[in-house]
Amino acid sequence: MTIYERAMEMIADGFRVGLGSGRAASAFVRLLGERLRAGRLRIQGVPTSEATAGLAREVGIPLVALADAGELDITVDGADEVDPRLDLIKGYGRALVREKIVAASSKRLVILVGEEKLVERLGSRGKLPVEVVPFALPLCQRRLMKLGMRPFAYEENGKLFRTDNGNHILDCGIAPIPDAAALDCDLNLIPGVVGTGLFIGMADEVLIGTGDDFRQVEERRRKL
């Protein structure tokens, strides 16, 4: 059983499901589409990005707007770092704000990762994405530097990248973070910061895949 198949066992008929972004989430979305086409399930999906919405339509998953869905039963997503407390860094795929909103709208957040994403302390991979409104870009860069970070505006094809929300991403070079919750509070106090890649206290379960095609699954649950 893969981590994607294990996550599928958590989906019940009639569920409203948050659909994450990135490689792991996309693999789950494709499997979910297969199950729907086989007539085994009826669900509604809420995508966390336009890319995920396009993939969901392609594989036959009916979508509903978050405004119409109400509280979601579950969200399945990936992560870029997972620490021993199941706190996360997300956002390398550039959808961090919508991912956080959909996760916060869900009764349960399940994260799918390979073992290479496990870290002893958040920030160990050296990057934290922060989404900022365009007007505030210079201010946010200065404030982030004062916090000891190294912010670089993410570009694609020589132009500043814009998220699905019309904002920019500052990829901040960081060292391992002593207190991720405190840093998240400090970052969110900067005018113009829309959201950070720090997901503190949000994941309920993490499915860790090892071996070929992640066919060995370790499950970790948040301690209450």
Residue range 41-96, pLDDT digits in tens: 999 999 999 999 999 999 999 999 999 999 999 999 999 999 999 999 999 999 99
Active site residue 218: no
Of 178, 24, 52, give the one whose Cα is nearest residue 116: 24
CB distance 141 to 170 below 8 Å? yes
Rounded distance between C-alpha atoms, residue 66 and residue 19, angstroms? 11
- Taking the complete model, does pTM exceed 0.95, yes or no? yes
Q: Which member of 99, 116, 156, 205 is catalytic?
A: 99
Q: Is 155 exposed, middle or buried (0-12, 13-18, 19+ CB in 10 A)?
A: exposed
Rounded distance between C-alpha atoms, residue 213 and residue 190, angstroms? 41
CA dihedral of residues 145, 149, 150, 156 (deg, nearest 10):
-110
Cβ atoms < 10 Å from Cβ of 111: 29
Residue range 38-54, pLDDT digits in tens: 997 999 999 999 999 99
CB distance 110 to 221 below 8 Å? no
Instruction: State residue 211's pLDDT score.
Output: 82
Instruction: State residue 55's pLDDT score.
Output: 98
Residue range 124-183, pLDDT digits in tens: 999 999 999 999 999 999 999 999 999 999 999 999 999 999 999 999 999 999 999 999
Go through the domains of the chain in sequence order and give each one's CATH number. Answer: 3-116+200-209 (3.40.50.1360), 127-196 (3.30.70.260)
CB distance 172 to 143 below 8 Å? no
